[in-house]
């Protein structure tokens, strides 16, 4: 799919907010489309719900005592580097990572973690940021969280609640002047169609696919993949995405799965990032290729 030339929308006053659970999520989900919109002059703001304090160190080179002893500060520094690479604004919602519960039965979540904070409390914090930034478009995770991490599911719940509450003057009246975003999207990062297309492309180049075992075990849900409404062309920005990913050195192994598919194969095979339009106050024709489709240019 050919990539569009960069459109200068810097005078349009358009604003995009991504709501994510942890530092690194902004780089692993939608980062290339973020970079495209930044290049076009759109103001992009990432909200990070937690500090990622309970995340695993997934890069063996960073699995050292001094890293674990300073994991909170290190993850903040990683986020700052990724933020600068992407060219975005970023705010912390200020909650504590819930961690990934392991075991059978799974242990209870730790007291005070993000997933256990009353929904009204976390929703109000996000409403405050929405009313200050005044985004036209908000993105977040689907009702499954993208994957079933308690913070990702809670991020979905908070984002949807805040999207609806931000424009209601009766909700959180002390949280700023009401502002109603025009569109709400869910990320759809790894559909079966995308995974299979990249798998087949690797085999066609006589390369080993990292997805063979995953596809064998995949329980397909065609109705779920059919929920994708919007494919944003952004292959030209996969390099920016990769640099932002690498900034999260505790989470991203440069020799790992994220980089198993050559970038050129990714660009030729699946040069979009995919979303589901969930709520909209404007008319736009589906399928879309732009998160801002149907949104009129704001008055200066």
Task: Determine the Cα–Cα distance for residues 154 and 148; give it in Å rounded to an integer.
Answer: 10
The residue whose two tokens read 């598919």 is 261
Residue 204 DSSP label: H
22 is in an annotated binding site: yes
Task: Determine the Cα–Cα distance for residues 197 and 185; give it in Å rounded to an integer.
Answer: 24
HSE at residue 215, side-chain half, CA atoms within 13 A, is: 14
20 is in an annotated binding site: no
Residue 120 neighbours by CB under 8 Å, 6+ apart? none
CB 54 within 8 A of CB 102: no
164 is in an annotated binding site: no
CB 294 within 8 A of CB 283: yes
CB 140 within 8 A of CB 186: yes
- Cα dist from 118 to 95, 98, 157, 195, 266, whole Å: 11, 14, 11, 36, 41
Binding residues: 22, 25, 152
Binding residues for Zn(2+): 22, 25, 152
């Amino acid at each position: 799919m050919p990539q569009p030339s960069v459109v200068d929308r810097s005078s349009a006053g358009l604003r995009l907010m991504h709501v994510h659970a942890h530092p690194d999520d902004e780089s692993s989900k939608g980062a290339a489309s973020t970079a495209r919109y930044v290049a076009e002059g759109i103001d992009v703001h990432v909200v990070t719900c937690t500090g990622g304090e309970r995340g695993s160190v997934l890069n063996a080179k960073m699995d050292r005592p001094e890293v674990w002893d300073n994991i909170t500060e290190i993850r903040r520094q990683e986020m700052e580097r990724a933020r600068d690479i992407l060219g975005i604004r970023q705010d912390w919602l200020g909650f504590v990572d819930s961690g990934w519960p392991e075991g059978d039965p799974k242990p209870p979540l730790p007291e005070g973690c993000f997933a256990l904070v009353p929904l009204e409390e976390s929703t109000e914090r996000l409403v405050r940021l929405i009313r200050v930034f005044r985004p036209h478009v908000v993105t977040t995770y689907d009702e499954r969280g993208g994957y079933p991490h308690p913070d990702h599911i809670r991020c979905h719940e908070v984002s949807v609640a805040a999207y609806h509450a931000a424009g209601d003057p009766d909700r959180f009246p002390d949280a700023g002047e009401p502002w109603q975003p025009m569109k709400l999207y869910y990320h759809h990062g790894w559909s079966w169609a995308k995974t299979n297309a990249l798998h087949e492309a690797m085999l066609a180049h006589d390369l080993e696919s990292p997805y063979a075992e995953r596809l064998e075990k995949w329980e397909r849900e065609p109705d779920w993949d059919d929920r994708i409404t919007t494919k944003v062309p952004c292959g030209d920005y996969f390099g920016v995405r990769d640099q932002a990913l690498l900034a999260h050195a505790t989470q991203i192994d440069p020799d790992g799965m994220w980089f198993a598919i050559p970038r050129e194969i990714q660009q030729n095979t699946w040069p979009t990032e995919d979303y589901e339009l969930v709520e909209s106050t404007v008319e736009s024709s589906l399928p879309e290729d732009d998160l801002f489709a149907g949104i009129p240019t704001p008055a200066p």
